[in-house]
Structure 1
Amino acid sequence: MWMSENDNRCLRQRISYDGAACTVRFVGGVAGTTGSWLGVEWDDAARGKHDGSHKGTRYFTCKSKSPTAASFIRPTRPADAPQSFLAALNERYVMDAPGAVKGKSKIEIVISGKVAQEMGFDKIWQRQSRLRETKIVILDSLRVTVARTEGDVTEEGIAATIAETAPKIVELDLSRNLFERFGPVLDICRDLKDLQKLSINGNRFLDILTDDALNGAESVLGGVIELQLGETLMSWQESCLVASKCPSLTTLLVGSNQLSTLPTIVQDSLPSTLTSINLEYNDFTSLSDIASLATLNNLRHLQLKGNNISAITSSSSPNDVVFPPSVQYVDLSYNKIDSWEFVDKLPAVFPGMIGLRITHNPIYYSMDADSNAQSSDESFMFTVARIAQLKTLNFTHITTTDRTNAEMFYLSRIAKQLATVPEAAEDSIKILHPRYNKLCETYGEPDVIRREEINPNFLEARLVTTEFHYEGASEEGKKTRITRIPKSFDIYAVKGIVGKMYGLAPLKLRLIWETGEWDPVAGYDEQDGDDDSDDEDDALPETNPDNQEASGEEDKAGRWVKREVELTDGPKQLGYCVDGLRARIRVEASSS
């Protein structure tokens, strides 16, 4: 046991049991039991049994909001031994290298002639030499607490240093270790002059805001361009303080930190160099909760996946929020967006947005009263049509043909909604579709067919007004013919009528009902997967329209096609083959 049971300093100490890290929050007795207990908060919140209270008595409070983050354990339980950064390097990159003898310490390898012979001194030297050239080092979950200890020595017995052991590290992952304060992290980074990416996810740092070790940390972290602080449960102010020590920072990841709002930080503000911020799996409910980020004029990527966002503004933040035009890519997947009004307002919030991910929201999969959308395919079309500036949706590039199909489909759906209300009440529908007038300017106003209530006992309720069109007609004016046909006529009888109209053999023609509806081509739905591609730049298309024309995109078939149904020979009645009292049917001469 490396910690004294009676040592008061163990409060807030970081410990690992069987590879599971935790923080000591309580030392003392628990009612109804004997002896002393340690109350710990596990980094893995699912590992515990309660939230710090037992049988109605609260003994300590966890930083995690999870109801199962805490446990009581005996102080005598053996803990995993902590180690230094240099020892962890040796464990992962020398001892765990292929061919190495397991279970031996660095001291044994260097000093014991027998062990060196077992491993082969040349192999040790080769691995250590490679370590000096290594640029990517991953030391997650290795119980690291400090940069080095007195036991870290070279083969010659000289005190080892990070600068000599692994001086060329560019990317360093120190996630889920046992650091208590930020100082040891800076001690590790101080000798890494080429460091650009630093990951310290899942650590639990004490007193960040008052930690003197951060004073002057800019000289240590000046070259860091990517900083990962996810799952640290840092407050926004603490995250901003650490990020401010990285003057060259372009990418900041602060996911899973229980953040519900981002207050404006005057001191220790975020670097103006930031172009990407990842805020996934936090607790935001509206876009106004992150309004303070609107001051970052170089921000380009904003990732908000897995929050609880359902509104643009909230009661606590009622003011409109507008992000700079530099913001081009926004990820709003896995939120709680359930209204098209939210989607319609996105261009005002993100005027520069050309890439959006919005899958796995209720609006994408639930029946919508306004649009009657029943599939993600149709929701995809509505999103493209409602946001004119989009060039990429759910990692799918939007071609000119895609946009045309989507906007025409959307316009036809608006027409259907208009048909459900009297002409005098059309404005109540149009107000729900801000782009309606613009789309009408582009494609013309859609036909709004209002069906009058017809008494089913009247003859007209039993007739289908059918518009036939045959391109092969000898006279131009006779290509289209309109007639009324009883619903009870079967397809054989209908073909007989058409044959007389156009002088065709009834059994040598085809009847194609043009439904006016649209269907997605197989495979059109999002290429989203759930792989969380970090290459958003790859998803954003080139904005030069000439490139698109040259590539032949315009010649490709649209991913949506008009639904057509062939009326095949048989006894089925016409009334069962077409919908409603009007139908448009294309006539084709059969080649057989």
Structure 2
Amino acid sequence: MGVDHTEPGVPEDAVGRRVSCEGERATVQYVGLVPPTAGLWLGVEWDNPERGKHDGSHEGVQYFTCRHPKGGSFVRPGKVSFGVDYLSAVEQQYIYDTEKNYMEWEGRSKKLSFEILTSVLLCGCEVNGPGPDGEIRNTTPLVRWLDLSKTLVSCWEDVSAITRQLNQLEGLQLSTNRLRLPSEPSAHCEAFCRLKTLALNSCDLTWPQILECAPMWPQLEVLSAEENNITELQRPEGVLQSLKTLSLCGNPLHQDSVLSVAALPRLEELNLSKTGLSDLRFDDAAPGSLTAMFPALKNLYLDHNNITEWRVVDELGKLPSLVKFSCLGNQLVSDDGNPRTATELLIAKLGRLRFLNRCEIHPDERRGAELDYLKMFGEEWLKAGGASQPSSQFTCRHPRYLSLVEKYGAPEEGELKKPESFALKNQLLKLVFVFPDDVERKPIEKKLPASMLVQKVKGLLYRLLKVPAVDLKLTYSSPKMEGTEFEIDNDLKTLQFYSIEDGDQVLVRWS
């Protein structure tokens, strides 16, 4: 089962090398014979385990191992590509590929033309290393952004051999690669000394592996490590201290380890979307006080997680610098089930917020949300002791309430939100019905009672449009939150239930 290096196209250091085969990427784990068949085989572990057939064994003999029981295959050398060097890939991408011919030659030499490149995009190309020593420095000296996503580089030494010749490099994209860790990370600092932005998405990495590599990136400010195998975070000791942006979206995080990155002194943006997060607590600060954790954090993304408790939002109110927050795709529901009320609660509970769910919060919108919040829980506040001394239980549930009382004054008895009054039931709303899927149909303006059931609204629309009510789908939008649509999904609720206001638009679609 010895290795036959006389096979053309198989390098002597083939084991551990990255290869492509029929559009898929794999790592060579074995080179040799596989009896009873004749000839040389490559044992490969596929990046996509569904492409494989076994775990590296054949007829009871284990030739190599795979992490996935079906992640391996044996392939003939002639079916795989070990790739090309950096300069060959640049030539293929920027000269010979006529569909992507970005260069205008006008008689210039190849070298001169490459010298003007500030970005080199080789995503999906079969780059396997630097090529002739020193030629990258002579050929593409001005490159500041390099995309080596989904290439055939096998280890950090390969990457370092390329980047140490790019003295201007600030941004590096290495997503969808499988890189062996360096034996001496600090030896590669020079190769990444100017690097500010690094993408390592879908690289099958853990957080300890990232920390092991981090000494190579002394000036790093932006790190994207989405869709990896990051479960438990550890505190970065002496590394990543310049980091301003960190994205861990799509990793199955243990939520009790999230605070391990809370001490990063310059971290301004953190993306923890799609991580399964359901809780976040800053126990160093009492309700209504500021935490010492995440001191510089301005932007936080928690979209598509499992957050259902409003106390998580109250905890986020402890962050001293938070101005942009997004939590789309969670189950934060208000008592009335109305999404607009939930939005108002988020605005009122997070007093420093300027953007919510990627929409700017206008001053009038904040004022309205905070006044509504005062009225909404005013009765509970009075029962808890009111202005004299509200109970600690109330303060824990509504840590911002006292500051709102100081801002606007205590809510009056008559202002407290109660079941809708006779006057409210007879309030008329001026609504504009628009038809996004029927551009030729003009908007229709109607005045309708706030107490009108959605079912009755659909009946009115049936008479106007001759479209069966069962086929109608309604949403509404408000000038206060431009670009956002709210569903009207219960025919037995009133317009008032959905907090539809005078001047709102109702968008009408049908199947």
1:343 and 2:313 aligned: yes
2:248 to 279, 282, 286: 279
Whichever residue aligns with residue 397 of structure 1, its letter is E
1:522 to 472, 478, 481: 478
Query: Is the CA contact (8 Å cut-off) linking 2:82 and 2:128 kept in structure 1?
Result: no
1:18 to 8, 22, 32: 22
Query: Is the CA contact (8 Å cut-off) linking 1:306 and 1:335 kept in structure 2?
Result: yes
Q: What displacement does 1:182 show?
A: 1.4
1:373 to 325, 337, 340: 337
Q: What displacement does 1:251 show?
A: 1.2
1:382 and 2:345 aligned: yes
Q: Which residue does the alignment assign to 2:221?
A: 250
2:410 to 423, 428, 444: 444
Tell me how far apart the structure 2 counterparts of residues 241 and 283 of structure 1 sit (CA, whole Å): 20
Tell me how far apart the structure 2 counterparts of residues 438 and 416 of structure 1 sit (CA, whole Å): 17
1:94 and 2:95 aligned: yes
Identity of aligned pairs, percent?
22
Tell me how far apart the structure 1 counterparts of residues 302 and 22 of structure 2 sit (CA, whole Å): 37
Q: Which residue does the alignment assign to 2:116?
A: 133
Tell me how far apart the structure 2 counterparts of residues 347 and 55 of structure 1 sit (CA, whole Å): 61
What per-residue deviation string (whole Å, max 9, x for no partner) do you get for residues 408-445 of structure 1? 33334435888999x9x998777533333433442533
Give the structure-1-normalised TM-score. Answer: 0.61
The 5 A counterparts of 1:169-208 are 169-208=143-182
Query: Is the CA contact (8 Å cut-off) linking 1:42 and 1:69 kept in structure 2?
Result: no
Q: Which residue does the alignment assign to 1:224?
A: 195
Query: Is the CA contact (8 Å cut-off) linking 2:66 and 2:72 kept in structure 1?
Result: no
2:359 to 393, 396, 402: 396
The alpha-carbon distance between structure 1 residues 176 and 562, as it changes in their structure 2 partners (threshold 3 A), is closer
Q: What displacement does 1:528 show?
A: 8.3
The alpha-carbon distance between structure 1 residues 562 and 253, as it changes in their structure 2 partners (threshold 3 A), is closer
The alpha-carbon distance between structure 1 residues 126 and 431, as it changes in their structure 2 partners (threshold 3 A), is same
The alpha-carbon distance between structure 1 residues 521 and 299, as it changes in their structure 2 partners (threshold 3 A), is same
The alpha-carbon distance between structure 1 residues 244 and 260, as it changes in their structure 2 partners (threshold 3 A), is same
Q: Which residue does the alignment assign to 2:130?
A: 147
What per-residue deviation string (whole Å, max 9, x for no partner) do you get for residues 429-467 of structure 1? 77533333433442533645888xxxxxxxxxxxx9856
Tell me how far apart the structure 1 counterparts of residues 209 and 6 of structure 2 sit (CA, whole Å): 29
Query: Is the CA contact (8 Å cut-off) linking 2:202 and 2:225 kept in structure 1?
Result: yes
Whichever residue aligns with residue 243 of structure 2, its letter is L
Q: What displacement does 1:403 show?
A: 0.7
Q: Which residue does the alignment assign to 2:329?
A: 360
Helix, strand or coil: the match of 2:179?
coil
The 5 A counterparts of 1:168-567 are 168-208=142-182, 211-212=183-184, 214-266=185-237, 269-286=238-255, 288-312=256-280, 322-348=292-318, 350-363=319-332, 368=333, 371-375=335-339, 377-414=340-377, 431-441=396-406, 442-445=408-411, 447=413, 466=422, 521-522=477-478, 563=501
Give the structure-2-normalised TM-score. Answer: 0.70
Whichever residue aligns with residue 260 of structure 2, its letter is S
Between stretches 174-183 and 404-413, larger displacement belongs to 404-413
Tell me how far apart the structure 2 counterparts of residues 465 and 304 of structure 1 sit (CA, whole Å): 43
Matched length: 430
Q: What displacement does 1:168 show?
A: 0.9
Query: Is the CA contact (8 Å cut-off) linking 1:224 and 1:248 kept in structure 2?
Result: yes
Q: What displacement does 1:318 show?
A: 9.2
Tell me how far apart the structure 1 counterparts of residues 368 and 56 of structure 2 sit (CA, whole Å): 57
Query: Is the CA contact (8 Å cut-off) linking 1:47 and 1:68 kept in structure 2?
Result: no
Between stretches 67-76 and 88-97, larger displacement belongs to 67-76
Tell me how far apart the structure 1 counterparts of residues 360 and 162 of structure 2 sit (CA, whole Å): 43
By relative contact order (CA 8 Å, sep 6+), the higher-ranking structure is 1
The alpha-carbon distance between structure 1 residues 310 and 274, as it changes in their structure 2 partners (threshold 3 A), is same
The alpha-carbon distance between structure 1 residues 44 and 446, as it changes in their structure 2 partners (threshold 3 A), is farther
The alpha-carbon distance between structure 1 residues 298 and 99, as it changes in their structure 2 partners (threshold 3 A), is closer
Whichever residue aligns with residue 85 of structure 2, its letter is S
Tell me how far apart the structure 2 counterparts of residues 125 and 450 of structure 1 sit (CA, whole Å): 78
What per-residue deviation string (whole Å, max 9, x for no partner) do you get for residues 342-366 of structure 1? 1111122x22111111112222xxx
Q: Which residue does the alignment assign to 1:590?
A: none
Whichever residue aligns with residue 218 of structure 1, its letter is C
The alpha-carbon distance between structure 1 residues 46 and 429, as it changes in their structure 2 partners (threshold 3 A), is farther
What per-residue deviation string (whole Å, max 9, x for no partner) do you get for residues 129-188 of structure 1? 321111000112211111004xxxxxxxxx881122111111111111112221121111
Between stretches 129-138 and 392-401, larger displacement belongs to 392-401
CA RMSD between the two structures: 4.7
Query: Is the CA contact (8 Å cut-off) linking 2:306 and 2:331 kept in structure 1?
Result: yes
Query: Is the CA contact (8 Å cut-off) linking 1:93 and 1:127 kept in structure 2?
Result: no
Whichever residue aligns with residue 316 of structure 2, its letter is L
Q: Which runs of 5+ in 1 are unaligned?
A: 101-119, 150-158, 452-463, 469-486, 492-510, 530-559, 566-592
Query: Is the CA contact (8 Å cut-off) linking 2:303 and 2:330 kept in structure 1?
Result: yes
Query: Is the CA contact (8 Å cut-off) linking 1:359 and 1:394 kept in structure 2?
Result: yes
What per-residue deviation string (whole Å, max 9, x for no partner) do you get for residues 344-394 of structure 1? 11122x22111111112222xxxx3x623332x332221111111111112
Q: Which has the larger radius of gyration?
A: 1
Query: Is the CA contact (8 Å cut-off) linking 1:300 and 1:326 kept in structure 2?
Result: yes
Query: Is the CA contact (8 Å cut-off) linking 1:39 and 1:60 kept in structure 2?
Result: no
Tell me how far apart the structure 2 counterparts of residues 3 and 384 of structure 1 sit (CA, whole Å): 70
1:163 and 2:140 aligned: no
Tell me how far apart the structure 2 counterparts of residues 249 and 12 of structure 1 sit (CA, whole Å): 28
Query: Is the CA contact (8 Å cut-off) linking 1:394 and 1:527 kept in structure 2?
Result: no
Helix, strand or coil: the match of 2:352?
coil
Tell me how far apart the structure 1 counterparts of residues 150 and 448 of structure 2 sit (CA, whole Å): 64
Whichever residue aligns with residue 312 of structure 2, its letter is F
Tell me how far apart the structure 1 counterparts of residues 328 and 421 of structure 2 sit (CA, whole Å): 41
Tell me how far apart the structure 2 counterparts of residues 303 and 48 of structure 1 sit (CA, whole Å): 33
Query: Is the CA contact (8 Å cut-off) linking 1:251 and 1:276 kept in structure 2?
Result: yes
Tell me how far apart the structure 2 counterparts of residues 47 and 420 of structure 1 sit (CA, whole Å): 64
Q: What displacement does 1:97 show?
A: 4.6
Tell me how far apart the structure 1 counterparts of residues 377 and 56 of structure 2 sit (CA, whole Å): 55
Q: Which residue does the alignment assign to 1:104?
A: none
1:61 to 61, 66, 71: 66
Tell me how far apart the structure 2 counterparts of residues 306 and 55 of structure 1 sit (CA, whole Å): 42
Query: Is the CA contact (8 Å cut-off) linking 1:19 and 1:80 kept in structure 2?
Result: no
The alpha-carbon distance between structure 1 residues 233 and 446, as it changes in their structure 2 partners (threshold 3 A), is farther
Tell me how far apart the structure 1 counterparts of residues 258 and 313 of structure 2 sit (CA, whole Å): 17
The alpha-carbon distance between structure 1 residues 242 and 279, as it changes in their structure 2 partners (threshold 3 A), is same
The alpha-carbon distance between structure 1 residues 329 and 318, as it changes in their structure 2 partners (threshold 3 A), is closer
The alpha-carbon distance between structure 1 residues 344 and 94, as it changes in their structure 2 partners (threshold 3 A), is same
Whichever residue aligns with residue 240 of structure 1, its letter is L
The alpha-carbon distance between structure 1 residues 200 and 344, as it changes in their structure 2 partners (threshold 3 A), is same
